[in-house]
Chains A and B, each alone.
Chain A
Amino acid sequence: MADDVIDADELDPGFKYEISKQPGGENLKLCFQCGTCSGTCPVRAINDKYNPRRIIRMALLGMRKEVLCSDFIWLCSTCYACHERCPQNVRIPELMFAIRNIALREGNIHPVYKGYVDALDGHGRLLEVGEFENEKRVKYGLPPIAEEKERVRKIFHHTRIKDRTDGKLKGGEACATEGSK
Chain B
Amino acid sequence: MRYSLFVGCTIPNRFPGVENSTRVILGPDHLGAELVEINEFTCCPALPTFYSTDRVTWLVTAARNLVLVQDKNADLVTMCNGCFSSLLKATEELENVNKCNFVNAALASVGKQYRGRLVRREGNRSIYEPVRVRHIIEALYTDFGREGIADRVRHPLSGLRIAVHNGCHFLRPTTRTSVDDPAKPVMLDTMVEAAGATSVDFPDKQACCGAGGGIRLQVPKLANAITKDKYECIHAAGTDAIVTGCPYCLYQFDHAQKDLKVHPIPVLHISQLLALAFGVDAEHLGFEWHFVAVRPFLKKVDAVGVV
Residues of A within 8 A of B (CB): 23, 42-43, 45-47, 74-81, 83-84, 91, 93-94, 96-97, 100-101, 104, 109-110, 112-113, 115-117, 120, 124-129, 133, 136-137, 139-143, 145-146, 148, 151-152, 154-159, 161, 164-165
Chain A nearest CB, measured from B68 CB (Å): 10
C-alpha gap A50/B201 in the complex (Å): 30
Enumerate chain B interface residues (CB-CB to A < 8 A): 7-10, 12-14, 16-17, 19-20, 23, 37, 39-43, 45-57, 60-61, 64, 106-107, 109-110, 168-169, 172-175, 182, 207-208, 210-215, 217-219, 222, 225-226, 229, 284, 286, 289
Given contacts A80-B168, A126-B45, A129-B12, contact A151 B219 (CB under 8 A): no
Known pairs A77-B213, A110-B218, A140-B286; A100 contacts B60 (CB<8 A):
no
Question: Contact between B53 and A133 (Cβ–Cβ < 8 Å)?
Answer: no
In the assembly, what is the distance between CA of A105 and CA of B289, in Å? 40
Contact in complex: B210, A42 (CB < 8 Å)? yes
Q: Does B42 contact A78, Cβ atoms closer than 8 Å?
A: no
A38–chain B nearest beta-carbon distance, Å: 15
State how many angstroms separate the Cβ of A139 from the closest Cβ of chain B. 8
* Residue from B51, B182, B222 within 8 A of A47 (CB atoms): B222
A residues near B8, Cβ cutoff 8 Å:
125
A140's partner among B20, B109, B175 (CB-CB below 8 A) is B20
- Chain B contact surface mostly: helix
A158 touches B60 (CB 8 A): yes
Q: Please indicate the chain B residues that have their CB under 8 angstroms from the CB of A115 in the complex.
A: 217
- On whether the beta carbons of A126 and B207 are closer than 8 Å, the reply is no
Q: In the bound complex, do residue B172 and residue A80 qualify as a contact, i.e. CB atoms below 8 Å apart?
A: yes
- Does B53 lie within 8 Å of A79, measured CB to CB? no
CB-CB under 8 A from A42, the residues of chain B are 207-208, 210, 226, 229
Given the interface pairs A126-B9, A128-B13, the reply to whether A151 lies near B45 with Cβ below 8 Å is no
A65 CB, nearest partner CB in chain B, Å: 18
Contact check, B61 vs A104: say whether CB atoms are below 8 A apart. Answer: no
Task: Identify which of B182, B211, B214, B226 contacts A113 (C-beta below 8 A).
Answer: B214
Given contacts A47-B219, A91-B173, A151-B40, contact A142 B16 (CB under 8 A): yes
Contact A148 B12 (CB under 8 A): no
Q: How far is the CA of A33 from the CA of B33 in the complex (A)?
A: 50
B56: which A residues are within 8 A, CB to CB?
159, 161
Contact B43 A157 (CB under 8 A): no
- A128 and B13 CA atoms in complex are apart in Å by 6
Q: Is the CB of A77 within 8 A of B208?
A: yes
Report the minimal beta-carbon distance from A27 to chain B, rounded to whole angstroms.
Answer: 11
Query: Contact: B39 with A143, CB < 8 Å?
Result: yes
Residue among B42, B51, B211, B225 making CB contact with A125, cutoff 8 Å:
B42
Contact of A78 with B217 at beta-carbon distance under 8 Å, contacts A43-B222, A127-B9 already known = no
Other A-B pairs, 20, CB within 8 Å; known A127-B10, A143-B37, A161-B57: A43-B222, A45-B226, A45-B229, A47-B222, A76-B213, A77-B48, A78-B48, A78-B213, A79-B172, A80-B173, A91-B173, A93-B173, A101-B52, A117-B54, A120-B50, A125-B42, A136-B289, A155-B109, A158-B109, A159-B54
Please give the distance in Å from A74's CB to the nearest CB on chain B. Answer: 7
Q: Which of A112, A155, A159 contacts B217 (CB 8 A)?
A: A112
Q: Which residue of B lies closest to A109 (CB)?
A: B53
- Inside 8 A of B169's CB, which chain A residues have their CB? 78, 80
Which residues from chain A contact B57 at a C-beta distance below 8 Å? Answer: 155-156, 159, 161
Chain A residues with CB under 8 A of B109: 154-155, 157-158
List of A residues within 8 angstroms of B9 by Cβ? 125-127, 129
**CB < 8 Å: which of B42, B215, B286 contacts A43?**
B215
Task: Give A113's nearest chain B residue, CB to CB.
Answer: B53
Q: How far is the CB of B138 from chain A (nearest CB, A)?
A: 18
| Also in contact, A75 and B39, with CB within 8 A (given A101-B55, A126-B9, A127-B10) | no
> A101 and B54: CB pair below 8 A?
yes
